[in-house]
Amino acid sequence: MSEPASAASRRTVLAGAVGLGLAAALPAAASSPPTHSQKENAMSKPSIVFSHGIWADGSCFSKLIPTLQAEGHDVIAAQYGLDNLKTDVDSSIAAIERVAPGPVVLVGHSYGGTVITKAGVHPRVNALVFICALGPDESETSTSIQAKFPTTDVFKNIDVQNGRVWLKPGTGVPCFAGDLSEEEQGFVYATAAPPAATLFTEQVDGVAWRTKPSWYIVGANDRAVHPDLQRFCAKRMGATTTELKSSHVPMLSQPHAVLDVIHAACAAVAAKG
């Protein structure tokens, strides 16, 4: 039986709209800039910049950031509006240029993988970490790369309204965060920021993973970005790959395993001097 025209249209418009992530409240940023001593301490280790996916902001990395800060890394989670790819990339570049002087490890989740593929050409970026993420080549968009693989469950649980992509209540969040508690899933739905419906068809120059070392975390139980797409991206990059039995959000469901991968990338950067 063919699907209804409205559903087919929605899938066409959103063929790539899966770069998720989760929203939670970020603490208010201090108004004063980092002190000299804080910057000096952070310079002894690579800085870390995070780029989030859709239905999210930088707080989707909230289970990673405190540990990394305690270890002496300067950390910024880029914040952007999911309105268009260029401004999201520019926001990540701004964060790269804001952290302490020295090398940067750039970490992207889901659609954030497209963002770091572009922003990662910045000369300060020394390593890339992809978490269940897209990694398009120069001729690909987030939409076109996903079209090469089977459609995932999340596409049956979205609505397009006022030019934005929304998760359906009750059924949307389990498609990408099914290994979180019911309480966490409820909070994710309540705080999810909808992206522009055209976001995944846009293109920006740059393919950082072609010239910079990459690490990749595959979510074997991912129902948002197809696991085989993730394996394809990791292999094409030549990435050091870790596969977890996780949903689309291992940084929330298995943060220690994700931290292990980030630590490995940081160690490799530090070893290069």
Q: What is the pLDDT of residue 148?
A: 96
- 32 lies in a domain? no
Share of the chain above pLDDT 70, in %: 84
Task: Answer yes or no: is 30 within a domain.
Answer: no
Per-residue pLDDT, 249: 96
List the beta bridge partners of residue 161.
164
Domain that holds residue 17: 5-21+41-271
Rounded to an integer, the average pLDDT of 19-42 is: 43
Residue at token pair 């074997």: 220
Residue 170 forms part of a structural domain? yes
Helical segments of the chain, H only: 5-13, 36-42, 65-70, 85-98, 111-119, 142-146, 174-177, 182-191, 227-237, 250-253, 255-271
Tokens 């970020």 label which residue? 26
d(CA 151, CA 261): 28
- More confident position, 169 or 63: 63
Burial 185-203 (b: 16+ CB within 10 A, else e): bebbbeebbbbbbbbbbbe
Order of strands, sheet of 104-109, starting from the edge strand that comes earlier in the sequence: 75-77, 47-51, 104-109, 125-131, 214-219, 240-244
Q: Is residue 68 part of a domain?
A: yes
Residue 28 belongs to a domain = no
Prediction pTM value: 0.86
Domain count along the chain: 1
Domain of 187: which CATH number? 3.40.50.1820
- pLDDT per position as a tens digit, 51-102: 999 988 898 999 999 999 999 999 999 999 999 999 999 999 999 999 999 9
**Is residue 76 situated within a structural domain?**
yes
The reply to whether 34 falls in a domain is no
Compute the average pLDDT of residues 16-33. 41
User: Helices (H) and strands (E) in the chain — how many of each?
Assistant: 11, 8
Question: In the structure, what pLDDT confidence band is assigned to residue 174 with cuts at 50, 70 and 90?
Answer: very high
According to the model, what pLDDT value does residue 8 have?
A: 45
| Segment 198-219, tens digit of pLDDT | 999 999 999 999 999 999 999 9
pLDDT tens-digit readout, 119-146: 999 999 999 999 999 999 999 999 999 9
Tokens (6 digits) for 160: 């397009």
What backbone torsions phi and psi does residue 237 show, to the nearest 5 degrees? -75, -20
Position 36 in a domain: no
Q: At residue 184, what is the residue type?
A: E
